[in-house]
């Protein structure tokens, strides 16, 4: 329950770290010819990375929402976004805060001609979801994603950092508000079919937060009747005690790590 949000570094920084390290170690003293030359081993390694990225994309599972298709994952790297486009993906939905360099994903999507929706959610916890200013921006993003999925025939990928907590509650909210999942159980089964890791990691108390906060707010924004609220009793005594304690004191859940 505790900890701080995972901060993802910009893609260009992440991917150039290796080159920077080489430069510091003395590679800058090499002649231009030597620097430009690549050994067969390096070429082979690069080819393996490309094949691995393509294989990762092939293993994604998509499920229908309106006339579109949706999958979920962890934050994709640059090479993944390229292969996502090659596989027919038309849109990415990024559920991360600005401080996590969400715009780096948007920049790459723009470069490749993909649609990009930003849902600036900093964590799947009571602290984030009770902040009215933050929620206004989050609901605006979910509203945009909802309409793009509804009005077109998109093939979309929704992600946060690890693809578990924020990914889980945002996907759940879209499934419930779209009517694609009539019940909590149907929504969770759909998430399970898409990505078991997300289904198992999101936890019931976070889905309760989606039921209590995200779904009513998005339904109001969409001017639709909110689905019948379905809350699950939290049986984990430690989590339940923490939630009740924080609620009584008017405090928020600590930031999520995922």
DSSP bridge partners of 115 = 91
Does 224 map to a domain? yes
**Cβ neighbours of residue 112 closer than 8 Å, sequence gap 6 or more:** 81, 82, 85
Digit-coded pLDDT (tens) for 219-253 = 999 999 999 999 998 877 777 777 776 666 554 44
Total domain count, the chain: 1
Does 158 map to a domain? yes
Does 238 map to a domain? yes
Residue 26 DSSP code: T
149: nearest Cα among 223, 62, 67, 60: 67
Domain span at residue 192? 61-248
Digit-coded pLDDT (tens) for 22-49 = 334 444 344 444 444 555 555 555 555 5
Question: Rounded to 5 degrees, what are φ and ψ at 218?
Answer: -70, -40
106: nearest Cα among 151, 72, 139, 75: 75
pTM here is 0.78
Name the strand (E) or helix (H) holding 138. Answer: helix 132-151
| Alpha carbon of residue 188 to chain centroid | 16
Q: Which pLDDT band holds residue 257 (cuts at 50, 70, 90)?
A: very low
Q: What's 221's domain CATH number? A: 3.90.190.10
Name the strand (E) or helix (H) holding 186. Answer: helix 184-194
């Amino acid at each position: 329950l505790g900890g701080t949000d995972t901060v993802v570094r910009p893609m260009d920084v992440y991917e150039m770290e290796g080159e920077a390290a080489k430069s510091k170690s003395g590679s800058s003293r090499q002649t231009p010819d030597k620097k430009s030359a690549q050994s067969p081993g390096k070429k082979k390694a690069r080819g393996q990375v490309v094949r691995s990225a393509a294989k990762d994309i092939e293993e994604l599972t998509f499920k229908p929402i309106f006339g579109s298709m949706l999958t979920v994952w962890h934050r994709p790297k640059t090479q993944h976004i390229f292969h996502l486009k090659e596989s027919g993906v038309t849109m990415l939905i990024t559920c991360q805060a600005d401080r996590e360099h969400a715009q780096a994903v948007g920049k790459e999507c723009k470069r490749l001609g993909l649609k990009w929706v930003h849902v600036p959610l900093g964590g799947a916890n009571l602290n984030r979801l009770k902040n009215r200013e933050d929620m206004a921006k989050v609901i605006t993003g979910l509203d945009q994603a909802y309409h793009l999925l509804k009005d077109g025939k998109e093939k979309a990928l929704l992600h946060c950092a690890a693809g578990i907590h924020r990914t889980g509650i945002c996907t759940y909210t879209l499934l419930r508000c779209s009517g694609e999942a009539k019940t909590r159980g149907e929504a969770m089964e759909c998430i399970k079919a898409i990505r078991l890791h997300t289904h198992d990691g999101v936890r019931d108390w976070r889905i309760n937060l989606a039921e209590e906060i995200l779904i009513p707010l998005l339904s109001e924004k969409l001017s639709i009747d909110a689905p019948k609220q379905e809350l699950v009793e939290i049986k984990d005594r430690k989590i339940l005690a923490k939630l009740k304690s924080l609620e009584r004191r008017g405090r928020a859940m600590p930031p999520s790590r995922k």
